[in-house]
Amino acid sequence: MSTAPQIVPMKAVETPVHLRPQRSFQGLILALQSYWADHGCVILQPYDMEVGAGTFHPATTLRALGPNRWNAAYVQPSRRPKDGRYGKNPNRLQHYYQFQVILKPSPPQLQDLYLKSLFAIGIDPLLHDIRFVEDDWESPTLGAWGLGWECWCDGMEVSQFTYFQQVAGFECAPVAGELTYGLERLAMYVQGVENVYDLNFNGRDGDDTVTYGDVFRQAEEEYSRHNFEHADIVMLFEQFRMAEAACRKYLAAGWDGAGSARRHLMAQPAYDQCIKASHVFNLLDARGAISVTERQSHILRVRELAKACGEAWLKTDGGGGLR
């Protein structure tokens, strides 16, 4: 006579203290990831290229285009060369993390989902003043715009909330909802820390503590030097031209078929070059190497690439163009 295996009821595992968002930067990230995973998102990893914002990740820019459903969340290291302060400013960084959520089509209860995500990281709306303040988003380099808000918690902007209307010059159909959390800022708030470098990264105490400064201060110093003083202008201009040319080359090479069977076979590699051109432009801008008039023309050149990539993407499977 065999006995049925005894089923031990699982106890809900409480988050260990060192992983609580109030104590730990990585805990904050994990909490957001598991929240959005619970709500049907694929959790992606950062894109392996230098970008100015999470929006540039093809999981947002390209996936926002076309009819296919798409729900994803990921952390994206974001580079803003101009914002470097040699590790001396408590709030500004040339490299920081965004947590990006993209939901297409935008679900009807998106605001509620967002507010619950704040609750999940320890921001109780009955204790704090949470507000949606008009902020229409536009990215001239991506040829994209949307309407939405900056979300305020007690007067601090903690997220951007956007309903994409257009990306790469194309109407979004359906519209995607995009949420962008500024992770350092949010962490400073929930940890009650005044200086970003004082953030507890790993949530441990005493000698085991690793701070944000331990991880990133040296990098901020080094990259500030690089961005403002030493980045090789001649090389960067050359890189810009090369990326632009490569993007166009891959776009041209990727078109296949004709008429209704026309499709594109290399939209993503081409788009990588667009991302590259955009980042190189940001570096040149930080170096003060671009005059006012040139600035506009460079932005326009990147936008043209983005539009051409969007057009190509719409003729791929992912872009819904092969149905």
Partner 1 sequence: MPDLLLELFSEEIPARMQARAADDLRRLVTERLVEAGLVYEGAKAFATPRRLALVVHGVPVRQPDLREEKKGPRVGAPDGAIQGFLKAAGLASITEASVQKDPRKGDFYVALIEKPGQPANEVLRALLPLVVRTFPWPKSMRWGERSARPGALSWVRPLHGIVATFGPETEEPDIVEFTLDGIASGNTTRGHRFLAPAPFTVRRFEDYAAKLEKAKVVLDPERRRDMILADARNLAFAQGFELVEDAPLLEEVAGLVEWPVTLMGAFDAAFLKIPDAVVRATIRNNQKCFVLRDPATKRLAPRFILVANTEAADGGAAIVAGNERVIRARLADAAFFYETDLKTKLEDRLPNFAQIIFHEKLGTQAQRIERIERLSVELAPVVGADQVQAQRAARLCKADLTCEVVGEFPETQGLMGRHYARAQGEAEAVARAIEDHYKPQGPNDLVPTDPVSVAVALADKIDMLVSFWAIDGKPTGSKDPYALRRAALGIIRLALVNRIPLSLHAVAAWHWENVLGQQFPAVAEKIDNLMEFFEDRLAVQLRDQKARHDLVAAVLSARSLGEGHTLISIVDRVEALGKFLDSDDGRNLLAGVKRAANILRIEEKKDKAIYSSAPDPALYRQAEEEDLAAATEIARDAARAAVATEDFAAAIAAIAKLRPHVDAFFDKVTVNVDDGALRANRLALLNAIRDATRVVADFSLVGG
Q: Which of 99, 189, 250, 271 binds partner 1 (CB under 8 A)?
A: 189
Whichever of 88 and 262 has its CB closer to partner 1, that residue is 88
Q: Rounded to the nearest whole angstrom, what is the least distance from the CB of residue 269 to partner 1 in the complex?
A: 28
Q: Which of 174, 218, 230, 249 binds partner 1 (CB under 8 A)?
A: 174
Residue 66 identity (one-letter amino acid): G
Structure tokens at 317: 């499977």
* 317 vs 323: CA distance, rounded Å: 8
DSSP of 135-188, one letter per residue?
Answer: --EEETTTTEEEEEEEEEETTEEEEEEEEEEEETTEE-SSPPEEEEEEHHHHHH
The backbone torsions φ and ψ at residue 286, rounded to the nearest 5 degrees and listed phi first, read: -65, -30
* 59 vs 68: CA distance, rounded Å: 12
Q: Which of 14, 48, 134, 207 binds partner 1 (CB under 8 A)?
A: 134
Residue with tokens 């788009």: 271
Q: Check binding of 3 to partner 1 (CB under 8 A).
A: no
Whichever of 104 and 279 has its CB closer to partner 1, that residue is 104
Q: Check binding of 197 to partner 1 (CB under 8 A).
A: no
Note whether 280 and 56 are within 8 A (CB): no
H/E run at residue 253:
helix 233-254
Whichever of 22 and 106 has its CB closer to partner 1, that residue is 106
Judged by CB under 8 A, the stretch of 27-35, 171-179, 198-206, 269-277 that binds partner 1 is 171-179
Q: Rounded to the nearest whole angstrom, what is the least distance from the CB of residue 242 to partner 1 in the complex?
A: 27
* 106 vs 173: CA distance, rounded Å: 11
Total residues binding partner 1 (CB under 8 A) = 40
Judge residue 116's burial from the number of C-beta atoms within 10 Å of its C-beta, 0-12 exposed, 13-18 middle, 19 or more buried: middle
Cβ neighbours, 10 Å, residue 225: 13
Q: Bridge partners of 42?
A: 72
Q: Give the pairing type, strands 144-153 and 137-139.
A: antiparallel
Whichever of 16 and 90 has its CB closer to partner 1, that residue is 90
The backbone torsions φ and ψ at residue 231, rounded to the nearest 5 degrees and listed phi first, read: -55, 135
Give the x-and-dash track for 102-131 against partner 1 (CB under 8 A).
---xxxx--x-------------xxxxxxx
The 8 Å CB, 24+ separation contacts for 289-293 are 289/233, 289/236, 289/237
Give the x-and-dash track for 279-318 against partner 1 (CB under 8 A).
------------xxx-------------------------
Q: Which of 43, 133, 252, 322 binds partner 1 (CB under 8 A)?
A: 133
Judged by CB under 8 A, the stretch of 2-10, 18-26, 143-151, 207-215 that binds partner 1 is 143-151
Q: Rounded to the nearest whole angstrom, what is the least distance from the CB of residue 16 to partner 1 in the complex?
A: 25
Structure tokens at 281: 């432009």
Whichever of 158 and 251 has its CB closer to partner 1, that residue is 158
Q: Which of 43, 173, 245, 252 binds partner 1 (CB under 8 A)?
A: 173
Q: Check binding of 323 to partner 1 (CB under 8 A).
A: no
Residues that bind partner 1 (CB under 8 A): 67, 89-91, 105-108, 111, 125-134, 136, 146-149, 153-156, 163, 165, 172-175, 177, 189, 194, 291-293
